[in-house]
Amino acid sequence: MSYYAIDLFSGAGGLSAGLESAGFKIAYASDINADMCKTYQYNHPNTVVDQRDISELTWKNIKESTKLKKSDIKLISGGPPCQGFSTVGKKDESDPRNKLFVQYVRIIREVNPDFVIFENVSGFKKLYQGRAFEAVCKEFRDLGYTINNKILNAINYGVPQHRERTFIIAHSKKLKFSWPKKTHGTENKNDLFNENLKKPLTLEDALGDLPLVESGKKNEHYSSSPKNSYQKKRRKNCNHLTEHVGPRHGESLLYRIKLIPKGGSVLDLPEQLRPKSYFNNTYARLLWDKPATTITRNFSTPSSSRCIHPFLNRGLTTREGARLQSFDDDYVFFGKSKSSKNLQIGNAVPPLLAHNLGREIMSGIKS
């Protein structure tokens, strides 16, 4: 028996990659961004990928392209952007910023799957004085679903990165659901002494087999054989690297980066070299023996996030960012610019986290 899913606001396909490895067949995916759709289609060749505004999407579109019945669809996943909730609770539902959430619910209502995954930022429950969270829960309850919500940290599921996201799981009342059990701890002392949890993965664990490239330089050859199971799984059968090019920085930025010590930040720069305004976690080095901080779209831009390589004077390469998000090395990203590719990676749900969540949903469906 096949278990089909639909991925809306699918991005580059991180969530789908994890769900597929958990046993789902992603029948249909939709996103409005052309580069993301191209990336998704290449890496998920058996999925119908539709670049479309969700307000124009209907079940008829999905049915005609997939040849499936509504009863075949067991899961719909997606995370409407935060801006789509700015007017939740107000009367004007025609506001374009509000339509993404409204249209997402409309598709769920049309299809009526057994499970729904709703994913958003860690602070979603407090967004707009809590109106957004309450609106999502109310809509799902009105559709007859049982609601579960939790903030999951990707580091607890084998991803070498601190990354908290809010997940709301809605499911048919006749089915059961349990949150995935943690497999890895954090640097928290209680976790470190918990024999049931593995140690959190570090940058060295994730990137230790990649060649050291300087700013503006490229290398397509691994520096060694895989040193651990994480590297081995990410490499699969890859014989050469892609997207491993050191970000090209100007002389002024390179000078500043060279002054940043181990684990340091903008606060370690002389006053005259600091920007007029800044966040304390900018111009900051990651630590080789620690997990990464949250990977954002700006992971190659030292002025915007903590993304300077632990001992090289540059931001992270596109492949390093993908590794820290748990994408496999054969995952290809399309886009005319590095910023487009990095956006796709930084906005993605880590496949490993999605895999763990997908296994529990699959278990609930089969039960």
The dihedral region occupied by 52, where left means phi > 0, alpha psi between -120 and 50, and beta the remainder, is beta
* pLDDT surpassing 60 at residue 91: no
Output the 3-class SS for the chain.
Answer: CCCEEEEECCCCCHHHHHHHHCCCEEEEEEECCHHHHHHHHHHCCCCEEEECCHHHCCHHHHHHHHCCCHHHEEEEEECCCHHHHCCCCCCCCCCCCCHHHHHHHHHHHHHCCCEEEEEEECCHHHHHHHHHHHHHHHHHHHCCEEEEEEEEEHHHHCCCECCEEEEEEEEECCCCCCCCCCCECCCCHHHHCCCCCECCCCHHHHHCCCCCCCCCCECCCCCCCCCCHHHHHHHCCCCCCCCCECCCCCHHHHHHHHCCCCCCCHHHCCHHHCCCCCCCCCCEECCCCCCECCCCCCCCCCCCCEEECCCCCCECCHHHHHHHCCCCCCCCCCCCCHHHHHHHHHCCCCHHHHHHHHHHHHHHHHC
Using the structure block, give the residue that is written with the tokens 């390093």. Answer: 320
pLDDT over 80 at 131, yes or no? yes
List the one residue out of 145, 153, 228 whose CA is nearest residue 191. Answer: 153
Mean pLDDT of 296-300: 96
Spatial separation of the C-alpha atoms in residues 367 and 348, rounded to whole Å: 29
d(CA 142, CA 154): 30
Residue 8 in domain = yes
Is residue 82 annotated as part of the catalytic site, yes or no? yes
- Is 263 inside a domain boundary? no
Q: Which two tokens stand for residue 267?
A: 């606060």
Q: Is residue 55 part of a domain?
A: yes
Cβ atoms 322, 13 nearer than 8 A:
no
Please give the Cα distance from 319 to 209 (Å, whole number). 12
Q: Is 222 inside any structural domain? A: no
Which of 82, 137, 238, 307 is catalytic? The answer is 82
Percentage of residues of the chain with pLDDT beyond 70: 95
Domain range for residue 109?
4-184+350-366
Does some domain include residue 323? no
Q: Taking residues 290-308, what's their average pLDDT?
A: 95
The arithmetic mean of pLDDT across residues 171-184, rounded, is 97
pLDDT at 83: 64
Mean pLDDT of 54-69: 96
Number of domains in the chain: 1
- Those residues whose C-beta lies under 8 Å from the C-beta of residue 146, and which sit 6 or more positions away, are 170, 171, 172, 173, 177
Task: Report if residue 79 sits inside a domain.
Answer: yes
Domain-located, residue 83: yes
For residue 172, being part of any structural domain is answered with yes
**More confident site: 360 or 93:** 360
Residue 216's CB: how many other CB atoms inside 10 A? 12
Asked if 167 contacts 152 with a C-beta cutoff of 8 angstroms, the reply is: yes
How far apart (Å, rounded) are the C-alpha atoms in residues 182 and 198?
9
* Angstrom distance (rounded) from CA 333 to CA 108: 29
Q: Are 49 and 41 in contact (CB under 8 A)?
A: yes
Q: What is the distance between the alpha carbons of residues 221 and 242, in angstroms, rounded to a whole number?
A: 9
Radius of gyration of the chain (CA): 21
Q: Using the predicted structure, report yes or no on whether residue 96 has a pLDDT greater than 70.
A: no
Instruction: Say how far apart CA 198 and CA 135 lie, in whole Å.
Output: 37
The sign one gets for the Cα dihedral 141, 83, 277, 322 is positive
For the chain, what is the mean pLDDT? 93
- Mean pLDDT, range 235-261, rounded to an integer: 95
Give tens-digit pLDDT for 221-246: 999 999 999 999 999 989 899 999 99
- pTM: predicted TM-score of the whole model, two decimal places: 0.94
Here the CATH number for the domain that contains residue 102 is 3.40.50.150
d(CA 238, CA 220): 11
Residue 98 pLDDT > 90: no
